[in-house]
Chains A and B, each alone.
Chain A
């Protein structure tokens, strides 16, 4: 198993550009989520999905879109990048959203918006 994979590892965008951060998992996990990590603030939930075709907002959803057309993939779209979106982004997955099972994190994407 590759676990949770994210691409790209690093990205630089100009203000106003759009892009998609890719996330995939090969563990057949139902639950997937996106977090952003900013200095001194821990990780904060952006969006999550409890299964294919089902997504919902987390704590900081503004400026981001998600979709879940398959169990494996959960891309995060930045519609019009802003400097405030400079952060490290983590994708995570877990077997089910009700369980006590461990949440697996991807390696992260460092995004800089200039």
Chain B
């Protein structure tokens, strides 16, 4: 079974600085997707960034970038120039590509990010 682990229950960062959230996963599959979701106090789940495992290039979306290390099964999220609006719970998630048995997202436990002014 696939598992996703976020070892940092809480993180904090000063506004305008950079923070990295860690995620590791365990799978025997070679073709899959990895995601970071943001959940602000409103509870809405918002996709931040997506990485296809077959792509060697790390995904980037504006101030958000990932460090994808396939061999190490590591998928960290870097937030640059942190803003107050980045404060939220962040979830790392995994999904097998082309799975026929439900294509479920497997989520980590979450990391609560606080941004200090």
Residues of A bordering B, CB below 8 Å: 31, 33, 35, 40-45, 48, 50, 56, 58-59, 88, 90, 92, 94, 97-98, 100, 102-103, 105, 107-108, 110
Contacts and interface: CB of A to CB of B under 8 A. Distances in A.
A107 B46 CA distance: 10
B97 A100 contact: yes
Contacts of A88: 43
Contacts of A56: 101-102
B83 to A, nearest CB: 22
B42 to A, nearest CB: 7
B91 A98 contact: no
Nearest to B104: A45
A107 B44 contact: yes
A41 B99 CA distance: 23
A98 B103 contact: yes
A110 B100 CA distance: 30
B107 A42 contact: yes
A57 B99 CA distance: 15
Contacts of B45: 43, 90, 92, 105
Interface residues on B, range: 20 to 34
Contacts of A90: 45
A48 B102 contact: yes
B102 A97 contact: yes
Contacts of B43: 88, 107-108, 110
B77 interface: no
Q: Which 3 A-B pairs have the closest CB atoms?
A: A42-B107, A105-B45, A97-B103
B102 A105 contact: no
Contact of B50 (A40, A100, A107): A100
24 contacts: A31-B103, A33-B104, A40-B109, A40-B110, A41-B109, A42-B93, A42-B109, A43-B91, A44-B107, A45-B102, A48-B103, A56-B101, A58-B102, A58-B104, A88-B43, A90-B45, A92-B105, A97-B103, A98-B98, A98-B100, A100-B97, A102-B47, A103-B105, A105-B44
B86 interface: no
